[in-house]
Structure 1
Amino acid sequence: MFRVLIASLFVTFCATAIGEVIDQQRSLYRNILVEQNGDLLCLKFDEKSRKSSQSCMYKSAPKKLVFNYTKLTFASLLLIENPENVLIIGLGGGTLSNMIHELYPHASIENVEIDPAVIKVAREYFAFQENAKVTSKVQDGRIFVKRARLQKKQYDWIILDAFNGDYIPEHLLTKEFFQELKSVLTPKGIVAANTFSTSKLYEHESATYHVVFGDFINVTTDKNSNRIILAGFEDMPSARTIAERANRLAPRLQPYGVDMKLLSERLFYTKDNQDWPVDTKILTDQYSPANLLNF
């Protein structure tokens, strides 16, 4: 079961100790803080949510992933091989983009971030890489996907990592948006969505993904409330194929602190474990109530 009966939410950005603010950027959306605490450098949104970090990096080991959810995201590679076109919605410090570029230098990676101040901080403090293969665009993720659809773009790995400081923006969590996403996904592609297993929206999110993508995979660990949803794939690989891919990927991912063998054991397919009521209401553009976010 994924609904952990905990009243409080251990946010995916991870609670981190408060350190020294070394920079502050103001934007149309929020105040952005860059905070240093010993070897840890973190990007945070405003003073109110200062205990939660959007992105962090070890200055002495910038490749090593800090957050559990970023590690879980790479379970995607157990279902797809050699991604060529990657779309990341929500930049943070650019950790996911940098790591994917190092693993697959020939892949095209498009980062979409609504807040230009986030991109500025990622460049200045978190070594966010941009080049001919890696780009960033200031745009709302949903608008970008609508335009990509009109341009007939296709992606084989779409990563949803957009947060507004409290939760996933409502317009990026509806049936209509997921249908738009599906339209720009290659036949063998996958959507990896960063979300939670403790949210009161858990059942609604699950039902909404399922109605658009069919059965999907939850990736979780017992240690925290993060979950990654893997959706959009055509067929579930066999246990043997997953084990072979995990063994092959393990040495490549180990320097980043990612245990591929562990991830291969934490894939929970909803075909065998549909843990939400059949009458759960679907989130739509007309029904996406913020009052459900009372944790």
Structure 2
Amino acid sequence: MSTPIDISEEAGVRYLHFGSDWIQGAMRIRKPNALELAYTREMMAGLLLRDGLADDAGQWPKRVLIIGLGAASLAKFVHHHCPQARIKVVEIAPSVVAAARQFFKLPEEDARFSIHLGCGAQYVMEKDASWDYILVDGYDRNARAGALDTLPFYQALRSRLSASGLMAVNLFGRSRGYKASVERILTAFDDRVLAFPSCDSGNVVAFGAVGEPIERPLDELRERARSLKAATGLDLGPTITRLEQSGSVPGGVLHL
């Protein structure tokens, strides 16, 4: 698959484009492991929901699947801040992997970090593996997700999650709007879904969960966010505020 690649830079930030003005990824050059784009930060909010970095346990997630490499932002963050995690990235376009290596400081492949070239949907359907955290951020040059936004794909994702598994998906730019996507995820995950309020950029991040129910009071979420920021620099405080303001945390407790 041939994907046209363009690189731009502005105010210390390097951007990835797929032959259009759409931003497909970004890296602050002085902070290559930080998450520059708001939606990528929110896709890591699973660290607040499960026991791991946010409470210094550092044990979750142990196996991470990332579908869609882009500028390697999610891959680099997990690789750098979750040393206990084994990471598999699935990317359909070799040119995207090459650009991430050349321009975005993609980590070298080793025993805990590897890249599979191919279709993310096909990989999930065919590989009988279990994952703690699945991050889905796959788009073409026209911001279309294709097979990565179908009910069979979301059902397959759920079947691949471990007993403490979480899925996070970026729903920006779906052709029929994100609400149809959320409905598919709700069906696949038996309503155990949380869709964050839209970011300023228009991205909507949705989480699907399996295993033990998640119940986190807002005060606990804020404390965990402070710990996570101290450990990694990732600031999810604004996300928690937006969740509260949108009415997504009834009774002051997040349920998932």
TM-score by length of 2: 0.83
Which of 224, 228, 244 is the matching residue for 1:249? 228
Of 240, 247, 255, 1:264 maps to: 240
Task: Give the superposition deviation at 1:66.
Answer: 2.2
Choose from 158, 162, 165 the match for 1:186: 162
Please identify, of 37-46 and 139-148, the stretch whose mean Cα deviation from structure 2 is larger.
37-46
CA distance in 2, matches of 1:183, 1:222: 29
Tell me the matched-pair count. 236
| Structure 1 residues 231 and 132, CA gap change in structure 2 (3 angstroms) | same
* Cα distance change of structure 1 residues 222 and 35 upon mapping to structure 2, 3 Å threshold: closer
Contact 1:72 1:220 in 2 (8 A): no
8 Å CA contact 1:198–1:225 kept in 2: the answer is no
Distance 1:91 1:174 in 2: 20
Question: What is the aligned counterpart of 2:91 among 113, 122, 125?
Answer: 113
Give SS of 1:43's match: strand
Q: Deviations over 1:125-151 (max 9, x none)?
A: 1100032211111010011112222xx
Question: What whole-Å deviation, never above 9, does each CA across 1:67-97 have from its counterpart, x for those lacking one?
Answer: 1111111212111232000000000111111
What is the CA RMSD across the aligned residues, in angstroms? 2.3
Task: Find 1:212's aligned residue among 188, 192, 203.
Answer: 188
Match of 1:45 among 10, 15, 18: 18
d(CA) in 2 for partners of 1:183, 1:243 = 31
Q: Give the letter aligned to residue 48 of structure 2.
A: L
Percent of pairs identical after alignment?
27
Structure 2 vs 1, CA of residues 186 and 32 (structure 1 numbering), >3 Å: closer, same or farther?
same
Query: Which of the two has higher C-alpha Rg?
Result: 1
Moved more, 110-119 or 238-247: 238-247
Given that residues 94 and 122 in structure 1 are in contact (C-alpha distance below 8 angstroms), is that contact kept between their aligned partners in structure 2? yes
State the distance in 2 between where 1:60 and 1:122 align.
16
Deviation at 1:197, TM superposition (A): 8.5
Matched residue, 2:126: 147
The structure where helix makes up a greater share of residues is: 2
Greater CA drift, 129-138 or 261-270: 261-270
Take 2:168 and 2:3, find their aligned partners in 1: how far apart are those partners? 26
5+ long unaligned stretches in structure 1 = 1-27, 273-295
Please give the per-residue CA displacement for 1:225-250, whole angstroms capped at 9, x wherever unaligned. 11110112441322154334223212
Q: Secondary structure at 1:162's aligned position in 2? A: coil
1:109–1:133 Cα contact (<8 Å) kept: yes
CA distance 1:93–1:189, shift in 2 (3 Å) = same
Q: Does 1:69 find its partner at 2:48?
A: no
Q: Measured at CA, do residues 233 and 201 of structure 1 come closer, stay the same or move farther in structure 2, by a change above 3 Å?
A: same
Contact 1:189 1:232 in 2 (8 A): yes
| Range with greater deviation from structure 2 (125-134 or 163-172) | 163-172
When structure 1 is superposed on structure 2, of 114-123 and 235-244 the one drifting more is 235-244
2:48 aligned to which of 69, 72, 78: 78
Distance 2:203 2:37 in 1: 10
Post-superposition CA distance 1:107-133 (Å, at most 9, x none): 100000000111111111110003221
Counterparts of 2:24 and 2:124, CA distance in 1: 23
State whether residues 215 and 269 of structure 1, in contact with CA within 8 Å, keep that contact through their aligned partners in structure 2. no
**Pairwise CA distance, 1:174:** 1.1
1-side partners of 2:46 and 2:201: how far apart? 19
Q: TM-score, normalised by structure 1?
A: 0.73
Distance 1:208 1:222, change over 3 A: closer
Partners of 1:125 and 1:188 in 2: CA distance:
34
CA deviation map 1:132-184 (0-9, x unaligned): 211111010011112222xxx10010000100122342211111111111111
CA displacement at 1:270 relative to structure 2: 6.7
Partner of 1:57: 27
In the TM superposition, residue 220 of structure 1 has moved relative to its aligned partner by 3.0
Question: Tell me, which stretches of 5 or more residues in structure 2 are unaligned?
Answer: 53-59, 251-256
Match for 2:179 among 203, 207, 215? 203
